[in-house]
Amino acid sequence: MNGHLKTKLETLPRSPGVYFHKSSDGEVIYVGKAAVLRNRVRQYFQQSRQRDNKTLALVAEIADTDWIETESEVDALFLESEMIKRYMPRYNVLLRDDKSQMYVRIDMKNEWPVVSFTRNPADDGADYYGPFYNGYALKKALRYLRRVFPYLTRQRRPGQSKLDEDLGLSPKVSDGPEIYRANLRKLISYIKGNRKSIAAELEHDMRMAAQRQDFEMAAQLRNKLRSMQELQRRVMFGDKEFLNISKDRALADLAELFGLGSLPARIEGYDISHMSGHQVVASMVVFTNGVSDRAEYRKFKVVEKNDDAGNIHDVIFRRLSERNLKRWGKPDLLLIDGGKAQLQAAIRARDERRVTVPIISIAKREEEVILHQVNSGIDRSHIDILSQNTGRDMYTRRDGEYLVVNLHPDQRNAGSHSKNLRGSNTVSELNAEYISNRYDDITKLFQRIRDEAHRFAVSYHSTLKRRTATASVLDDISGVGPSTRKKLIRAFGSTRAVRLATKEELARTVGVARASSIYQYFHDGR
Matching fold, domains 3-95 and 473-523 = no
Indicate the pTM of the whole model.
0.54
Query: Cis omega before residue 482 (within 30°)?
Result: no
Query: Given phi > 0 = left and psi -120 to 50 = alpha, else beta, which region is 171?
Result: beta
- Asked if residue 477 lies in contact with residue 498, where contact means CB atoms within 8 angstroms, the answer is no
CA 456 to chain centre: 9
Q: Distance between CA atoms of 282 and 305, rounded to whole angstroms?
A: 12
Calculate the alpha carbon distances from 123 to 18, 128, 183, 275, 284 in Å.
31, 10, 25, 18, 14
- Full 3-state SS string of 8-53: HHCCCCCCCEEEEEECCCCCEEEEEEECCHHHHHHHCCCCCCCCCH
Residue boundaries of the structural domains of the chain: 3-95, 102-193, 245-423+436-461, 473-523
Q: Are 98 and 85 in contact (CB under 8 A)?
A: no
Which of the four CATH numbers 3.40.1440.10, 3.40.630.40, 3.90.1150.10, 3.30.750.24 does domain 3-95 have?
3.40.1440.10
- 42-45 contacts: CB < 8 A, separation 24 or more? 42/9, 42/12, 45/1, 45/9
357-385 burial: b if 16+ Cβ within 10 Å, else e = bbbbbbbbeebbbbbbeebbbbebeebee
- Which CATH number is 473-523's, of 3.10.450.50, 3.40.190.10, 1.10.150.20, 1.10.3720.10? 1.10.150.20
287 within 8 A of 357, measured Cβ to Cβ:
no
Q: Where are the alpha helices (DSSP H) in 396-481?
A: 440-469
Cα–Cα separations (whole angstroms), residue 311 to 11, 150, 339, 340, 446: 52, 46, 14, 14, 21
Let me know: does 316 contact 350? Beta carbons within 8 Å. Answer: yes
3-state helix, strand, coil split of the chain in percent (to 5) is 45, 15, 35
- The HSE-up count of residue 53 (CA atoms within 13 Å, CB side) is 3
**Domain 245-423+436-461 classification at class level:** alpha beta
Are the CB atoms for 434 and 425 separated by under 8 Å? Answer: yes
Residues 6+ apart with CB under 8 A from 355: 320, 325, 330
How far is residue 393's CA from residue 219's CA, in Å, rounded to a whole number? 65
pLDDT in tens, the chain (526 residues): 788 888 889 999 988 889 999 988 888 889 888 888 988 888 888 775 566 677 788 888 999 999 988 766 766 776 777 777 777 788 876 555 445 567 888 888 888 889 888 887 777 778 887 666 567 667 776 777 787 778 888 877 655 667 777 777 788 787 788 888 888 887 777 665 555 666 777 788 888 888 888 887 788 777 777 665 554 443 333 333 334 454 567 888 888 888 888 889 899 999 998 777 677 889 999 998 887 887 788 989 888 778 889 999 999 999 999 999 999 999 999 999 988 999 999 999 999 999 999 999 998 767 889 999 888 888 888 787 777 776 667 788 888 899 988 887 766 644 555 545 554 444 444 444 445 577 888 888 888 898 888 888 888 777 766 666 544 667 677 777 778 878 888 888 887 888 888 888 888 888 888 888 888 888 765 4
Q: What pLDDT does 457 receive?
A: 87
The tally of CA atoms less than 13 A away on the side-chain side of residue 435 is 12
CA distances (Å), origin 218, targets 46, 186, 225: 51, 18, 11
Q: With contact defined as beta carbons under 8 Å apart, do 225 and 205 qualify?
A: no
C-alpha distances (whole Å) from 138 to each of 104, 212, 337 are 9, 38, 33
Its sign, for the CA torsion 483, 486, 492, 498, is: positive
Q: Judge contact between 301 and 281, C-beta under 8 A.
A: yes
